[in-house]
Amino acid sequence: MTSTSREKSAQDASWARELRAGLVTLDQLAERGWLDPNTPRDALRSAQSALDVRVPQAFHAGIADGDLSLARQFIPSGEEVEIAVEEFSDPIGDEVFSPVQGLTHRYPDRVLVKITYQCAVYCRFCFRRHKVSHSEENLSYEALQAAYEYVEQHEQIREVIFTGGDPLVLTDARLEPHLRRIEQIPHVESIRFHTRVPVALPERITPELCTRLANLQKMAWVVIHTNCASELNENALAALARLRSAGIPLAAQSVLLKGVNDSTAALEQLFRALYRNGIKPYYLHYPDLAKGTGHFRIRLSSAKEIFDALKGNLPGLAIPQLTVDIPQGHGKIAVSDDTCRMLVPQQNSHLGEVWEMRSPLNGSWVQVQYPHS
């Protein structure tokens, strides 16, 4: 074995070891005192059945120190078994726009390809929790050939977005055939990676991975998912710096979550941290109507007020778009007076808010009922 091979083997072992160090059982969480003792174990088991537990080593110290912004995102809660009638298994309609297995084609020029449903961390608010973490949903490279053939047959597709799950939990060897396959399609111009790995498993961002992404024949973008400034610790920032040093442009998407970042101050801290480290805040998502996630949702009217207060306090480049994925596949909108308007009941009602939202797909107005929050 050459010295280069030995070094790569050691790096692979390092991030694989860190991945295995994640806590994956309720007993492990209970031993650390991270579970609510007043929550029935049956409720927690139901939550784990819907979405596996994985709390990565990267966040252990923060949770142990009492960082509730981290704990709330990753520690299962009995509230997850409370499912409102307005919530869906597939809240944004991935399946509606899935012409072949593993691919979603909602907008003309880009597609999602879900090359794994496994992650380095399982977020309790996940909108794909009906598939994410369930190993039986994973598709092999061979099983995704129909997806790649579909891309080849539709020349209007300019971008392939690798998502899932988290594409960067795949080893270099497992990721490589997917990259080569897309590189062979002439009309694809860019490859985007949606990932939490730089913050949840920073050791995975090896020099070899950075070099491979930088040398893609297509333009590579990495969009990280991060929701609070404390996720951007020293190791995470070092991983992001490795990507930047390789010349890979970085953006970030976040979710506005009750008890995590639902204040102007928390969001300003997050977006400033991203901006000063060369990462463009891209989207701030209002939480999707995924089953069992109501405890993460504030009213959309309140979300608008929190977001609007950022304006003037941050550089324009440091402010993302506040977005809503209109439920059941009607498309993503930037929240504004032109795209959504609140109907009845009003904010002081015992019911949730009712909104009309304008679909970017066909211009029609769609009525959306949010549960009480």
Q: Is 210 designated active site?
A: no
Give the active site residue among 210, 291, 325, 340.
325
Residue 196 CB neighbour total at 10 angstroms: 22
Rounded CA-CA distance 60/311 in Å is 34
Give the active site residue among 54, 94, 117, 126.
126
Give the active site residue among 158, 280, 299, 332.
332
Residue 3 CB neighbour total at 10 angstroms: 7
Q: Cβ(91)–Cβ(331) under 8 Å?
A: no
Rounded CA-CA distance 308/286 in Å is 14
Give the active site residue among 54, 72, 110, 181.
110
Rounded CA-CA distance 116/139 in Å is 7
Rounded CA-CA distance 7/349 in Å is 61
User: Helix crossing, 207-214 with 3-20: angle to 10°?
Assistant: 100
Q: Is 325 designated active site?
A: yes
What's the DSSP call for residue 99? S
Q: Is 128 designated active site?
A: yes
Which tokens is 211 given?
């070099």
Give the active site residue among 288, 297, 358, 370.
288
Q: Cβ(352)–Cβ(368) under 8 Å?
A: no
Rounded CA-CA distance 228/268 in Å is 10
Q: Is 107 designated active site?
A: yes
Can you give the C-alpha Rg of the chain in angstroms? 20
* H/E run at residue 152: helix 145-153
Strand 250-255, strand 219-225: pairing: parallel
Q: Is 288 designated active site?
A: yes
Q: Cβ(256)–Cβ(95) under 8 Å?
A: no
Give the active site residue among 107, 141, 275, 282.
107
Q: Is 119 designated active site?
A: yes
Closest C-alpha to 117, from 97, 99, 105, 131: 131
Backbone angles phi, psi at 109, to 5 degrees: -100, 5
Give the active site residue among 106, 114, 124, 242.
106
Cis peptide before 165 (omega within 30 of 0): yes
Q: Is 311 designated active site?
A: no
Give the active site residue among 90, 114, 119, 131.
119
Active site residues per annotation: 106-107, 110, 119, 123, 126, 128, 288, 325, 332
